[in-house]
Amino acid sequence: MAKYANIIIDISHEKLDRTFQYKIPEQLQQSLTVGMQVLVPFGKGGRTIKGYVVELTDMAEYDVSKLKSIVAICENSVPIESHLIALAAWIKKNYGGTMNQALKTVIPIKQKTVRKEKRTVCLNIGMEEAKEKLAQFKKKHSVARVRLLEALLRDGELPYEVVTQKLNVTLSVVRALEQLGIVKIKSEEIYRNPVKEQEKEQYRLSLNESQKEASNTILSDFNQGIHKTYLLHGVTGSGKTEVYMELISEVIKKGKQSIVLIPEIALTYQTLMRFYRRFGDRVSILNSRLSAGERYDQMLRAKRGEIDIMIGPRSALFTPFSNIGLIIIDEEHEASYKSETVPRYHARETAIARAKMVGASVVLGSATPSVESYEKALRGEYVLLQMPERITKKPLPKAHVVDLRTELKEGNRSILSRKLQELMEERLQRKEQIMLFLNRRGMSGFVSCRLCGHVIKCPHCDVALSLHNNGKMVCHYCGYEQSVVTRCPQCGSSYISAFKAGTQKIEMIVKKRFPQASVLRMDADTTKKKDGYEKILSAFANREADILIGTQMIVKGHDFPNVTLVGVLAADLSLYVSDYRASERTFQLLTQAAGRAGRGDKPGEVVIQTYQPNHYSVVTAANQDYETFFKQEMEYRKMLCYPPVWHMLVVLVAAKEEGCVIALAKQLKQIVAEKKVPDLFLVGPANAAIARVNDIYKKVLYLKHENYEVLISMKDLMEQFLNENGKFGDIMVQFDFNPMNGF
Ligand code: ADP
Ligand code: ZN
Ligand code: ZN
C-alpha cells in the first residue's frame, strides 16, 4: 500500500511541469488510484483545491513531517481527466519518457486565444439560377468557381474550413462570388447543422450482406456490454466507411461518443463530407493545421458534449469525451499512427488501452492489415471480420509485372518499360488518366545491381546496407560496415550503384517521351506551399492533367474515376530500406497503388516494374493476395525473431560529444547485460540510420525478447539508472518499442 501520492494541481493551467507530494491517510490507502481527483490543502492559507493523482509511491521526496495529507477523494462521477491521466500513466509505463511528457500528450493545454468566428458558405440564389451560373462558369473554365457551386448545389451549405482546406477554393474566389451575390458567408451559425436536413435522410444506404454481418457482430456484442477489438479486413471499396457510420449511429443512440482516426493524408473532402452528410453538426475534425487554441476549442466542445464524433489523425485519440463507446482506426497499418516524438506511443495499442479503461469497442479497418494485427486476429485476440469484395463487384485491376533486368538486357535503358509506354500511349489516345508512382522510401541509399537485381545486404541482419558519404556501406542494425563495391558480387557487372531517380527526373523523362501529354507532379517540393497537396489533387480530379507523377502521397484513398492505368516505376525501392518491415510496406504500397486504377466504370490496369519480380511481396500484391503474403512474411519474422514474433526495443542515445554518447550507451548496455535475462538479444551501440544530425551524434542499442514485459522492465531499469545518476547533462536518451519509422 503506497503511502504517498504525487499530485498535479489545477491541470487547466500550464503547471504540468511540477507535481506536489502528499501523504495518503490510512482510510484512503485502499481506494486511492492513479487518475483520481482529490481535494488537497494548498498554499499558505491552507485552502483546499482539487488535484489529480498521477503517481503512488512509497518514497517520500521531502521531509515527511512537512508533507500535508490528502483531504478526500472527490465524490462526483469519474471525471474525464482522470481516465486520461490513467492513460498517460499507461503510456509512460509502456513507452518510456516522463509523466509530464505523457500528460502533455493526452491533455490539451489551455491557451489564451481569441475565439474564432465559425463560418459557413451557402448559396444566396435559387437552385435554378445557380445552375445557370454554373453553366456559365463551366464555359469560362473557372474551375474553382465550378467546384464550389457544384458542391453547394449538392450539399446546400458547407463549413468554411471545408471549402478552403478540403475543397481547395481560395478566400478570394469565395469573396468574388459573394460580391456577385451568388454565395453568402454566414457567421455565427457556429454549431448549426451545415448540411440540409433532407439530405441527411436521403443519405441512408442499405448495407449489403457482408457489411451487415460485420456490423451485426460488433453491435450484438456492444449491446450485451461486450467490448472487444475487431479487425475489419476489407478490400478498398468494400464499404468499410459505411460500416463505421452504421456503428457510430448505433453508439449515438446509446448516448455514447465515437472517435474515428484516419491518417491525415487520407482524410479527403469526399470522406469528410460523408460524415457531415450523415451526422451534421455532431461531427468535428482535428487536423495538423489547427493552432493550439483551435485544437483546444475542439476539445472543449467534445468535453461539453456538443459533439458525438471526433475525426482526425493520431492525436484525436485523446478527445476528452465523457462516455466513449467506440474507437475506430481506419487504415490501421499506417506508420503515421506511431508517434515520432517522446513518448513514442502507437495509437492502436493506446486506443485499445483507453477502450479497456472505459468499456468501449475498438474497430481496426484496413485493406492490408498490419502483420501485427492480423496475427492477433488469427490468434483470437482480435475478432476478425472479412469483406473480400468491392461493393460494385468491379474486378480488381489487372496487373502486369515487368522485370527491369530484362528491359536492360534487351536494350531499353529508360525507367519506363516498353509495356508501360505502350499502355500509356493507349490511355492518352483514349483520353483516360494515368498515375505514375515512385516508391521513395528506399532513398536512404541501398546499393543494387541494375543487371541482376542483387542487393548488398548485411551478412548478419538480412537488411540492406546503406551507402554513407564516406564511401562505406553500413548496417544500421548491428554496425557492420564494408567498403563500397564497384562490381556486382553476383554477376560481375559494373551496373552497381545506389539507386537515384527522383520524381523531377521522371517528370522530365515522361514529358520528353509524351510531349502531347500534360503532367502534374506531386512530391515534397510541389506540396511545400500550404494547400499544395489538395490543389494538385483537385486539379487532377478535374482532369486538368493526363498524368500524375508522385510519391506515396498519391496512393492514399482518393477516387479518380478516370484513372485506368497505374505504373509503379520501381516497386522494390522500398524492399531494401534498413527496416524489417520493408516487405510489408512494399506489399501495402503496391496493393494500394494498384487499387487506384479502375475505380470508375472503365476497368483498370497496373504495371509493376521491378528488379525482383519473384519477391513474394511483389507477387502477392500483383495477385491482391493478402493471405499468402501474410504467411510468407510471418515465416521471415519467425526466422529472424522480428515483431510480432518477438518484440524489439531501440534505445537512442544522442549528444554533441561522440565519446560521451558511446560511453553512456555502453553503460546502459552493461546495466542490461548484468541482469543476465535468459534469451535477451542485446547488440550495439551502433550508428543510428542518420548517424549525425546538426553535429549531434546518434547511437542505438537494440534489445529483442519474446516477451514485451521483459523489454518494459529493461526500459525501467535504464530509466531508473538515468534518474539516479542525473549527471548526464545534455545527453538525450529515448526509447522506441517496435519502431515503425526508422530511427
Ligand atoms: P471503403 O471504406 O472500404 O473503401 P466505402 O465505404 O468508401 O469503402 O465504399 C465504397 C463506395 O461504395 C462508396 O462510394 C460508398 O458510398 C459505396 N457504398 C458503400 N456501401 C454501400 C451500400 N451498401 N450500397 C451502395 N453503395 C455503397
Ligand atoms: Zn549483378
Ligand atoms: Zn547487421
State the Rg of the chain over Cα.
28
Query: Which residue puts its alpha carbon closest to atom 22 of ligand 1?
Result: 207
Cα 446 to averaged position of ligand 3 atoms, centre (Å): 13
Contact criterion met (CB below 8 Å) for 289 and 264: no
CA distance 618 to 620: 6
Contact criterion met (CB below 8 Å) for 401 and 617: no
What atom in ligand 1 is closest to the CA of residue 557?
4
**Ligand with an atom nearest the CA of residue 486:** 2
Residue 535's pLDDT is what? 78
What atom in ligand 1 is closest to the CA of residue 391?
12
CA distance 191 to 523: 36
**Ligand with an atom nearest the CA of residue 492:** 2
What atom in ligand 1 is closest to the CA of residue 236?
4
Cα 457 to averaged position of ligand 3 atoms, centre (Å): 8
**Ligand with an atom nearest the CA of residue 683:** 3
Our CA angle for 626, 629, 634, nearest 5°, is 125
Cα 439 to averaged position of ligand 2 atoms, centre (Å): 22
How do 20-23 and 4-9 pair as beta strands?
Answer: antiparallel
> pTM of the predicted model, to two decimals?
0.81
Residue 90's pLDDT is what? 92
Cβ neighbors of 685 (< 8 A, separation 6 or more) are 479, 653, 661, 662, 665, 666, 669, 699, 700, 701
Long-range contacts of 216-224 (CB under 8 A, 24+ apart): 217/383, 217/385, 218/247, 218/361, 218/363, 218/385, 219/247, 219/250, 221/361, 222/247, 222/250, 222/251, 222/254, 222/325, 222/326, 222/361
CA distance 635 to 121: 55
Cα 575 to averaged position of ligand 3 atoms, centre (Å): 16
What atom in ligand 1 is closest to the CA of residue 235?
3
How do 605-610 and 563-568 pair as beta strands?
Answer: parallel
Q: Where in the chain is the domain with CATH 3.30.70.360?
A: 647-737
What atom in ligand 1 is closest to the CA of residue 244?
6
Which phi and psi (to 5°) does residue 144 adopt?
-65, -40
Cβ neighbors of 492 (< 8 A, separation 6 or more) are none
Cα 241 to averaged position of ligand 1 atoms, centre (Å): 7
Name the residue of 236, 242, 333 to mutate for ligand 1: max ligand atoms within 8 A of Cβ.
242
State the angle between helix axes of 99-106 and 80-95 in degrees (0 to 180), rounded to the nearest 10: 130
**Which CATH code, of 3.50.50.60, 3.30.160.340, 3.40.50.300, 1.10.3720.10, is assigned to 394-443+501-639?**
3.40.50.300
Q: Where in the chain is the domain with CATH 3.40.50.300?
A: 212-392, 394-443+501-639
Low-confidence spans in the chain with pLDDT less than 70 = 10-18, 75-81, 108-118, 188-204, 440-445, 461-462, 469, 476-477, 499-502, 524, 528-531, 555-558, 573-578, 690, 693-694, 726-729, 741-743
Question: 326: which strand partners?
Answer: 258, 361
How distant, in Å, are the alpha carbons of 435, 673, 685 from that of 611? 20, 42, 33
Q: Is 562 exposed, middle or buried (0-12, 13-18, 19+ CB in 10 A)?
A: middle
Contact criterion met (CB below 8 Å) for 449 and 495: yes
**Superfamily for domain range 4-106:** PriA, 3(prime) DNA-binding domain (3.40.1440.60)
Cα 274 to averaged position of ligand 1 atoms, centre (Å): 10
Cα 334 to averaged position of ligand 1 atoms, centre (Å): 21
Residue 576's pLDDT is what? 62
Which CATH number describes the domain made up of 212-392? 3.40.50.300
Query: Which residue puts its alpha carbon closest to atom 5 of ligand 1?
Result: 239
How distant, in Å, are the alpha carbons of 159, 180, 499, 595 from that of 124? 15, 10, 56, 40
Contact criterion met (CB below 8 Å) for 306 and 257: no
Query: Which residue puts its alpha carbon closest to atom 23 of ligand 1?
Result: 207
How distant, in Å, are the alpha carbons of 293, 567, 603 from that of 590? 39, 10, 18
Cα 399 to averaged position of ligand 3 atoms, centre (Å): 35
Contact criterion met (CB below 8 Å) for 95 and 341: no
Cβ neighbors of 349 (< 8 A, separation 6 or more) are 94
All three cell numbers of 41? 490543502
Residue 101's pLDDT is what? 81
**Ligand with an atom nearest the CA of residue 368:** 1
Beta strands in 161-251 (DSSP E): 183-187, 229-234
- Lining ligand 1 with CB less than 6 A are 205-208, 211, 234, 236-242, 391
Residue 13's pLDDT is what? 47
**Ligand with an atom nearest the CA of residue 490:** 2
Query: Which residue puts its alpha carbon closest to atom 14 of ligand 1?
Result: 237
Classify residue 498 as left (phi > 0), alpha (psi -120 to 50) or beta: beta
Assign domain 647-737 to its CATH architecture.
2-Layer Sandwich (3.30)
What is the number of alpha carbons within 13 Å of residue 523 lying toward its C-beta?
18
Contact criterion met (CB below 8 Å) for 427 and 473: no
Cα 598 to averaged position of ligand 1 atoms, centre (Å): 15
All three cell numbers of 411? 536494350
Question: 38: which strand partners?
Answer: 51, 73
Residue 421's pLDDT is what? 97
Residue 443's pLDDT is what? 45
Task: For 360-414, give the secondary structure using H, E and C.
Answer: CEEEEEECCCCHHHHHHHHHCCCEEEEECCCCCCCCCCEEEEEEHHHHHHCCCCC
Cα 50 to averaged position of ligand 3 atoms, centre (Å): 53
Cα 208 to averaged position of ligand 1 atoms, centre (Å): 10
Name the residue of 277, 391, 392, 599 to mutate for ligand 1: max ligand atoms within 8 A of Cβ.
391
Q: Where in the chain is the domain with CATH 3.40.1440.60?
A: 4-106
Cα 545 to averaged position of ligand 1 atoms, centre (Å): 27
Query: Which residue puts its alpha carbon closest to atom 9 of ligand 1?
Result: 239
What atom in ligand 1 is closest to the CA of residue 274?
16
Contact criterion met (CB below 8 Å) for 66 and 48: no
What atom in ligand 1 is closest to the CA of residue 271?
7
**Ligand with an atom nearest the CA of residue 367:** 1
CA distance 175 to 580: 52
Query: Which residue puts its alpha carbon closest to atom 25 of ligand 1?
Result: 205
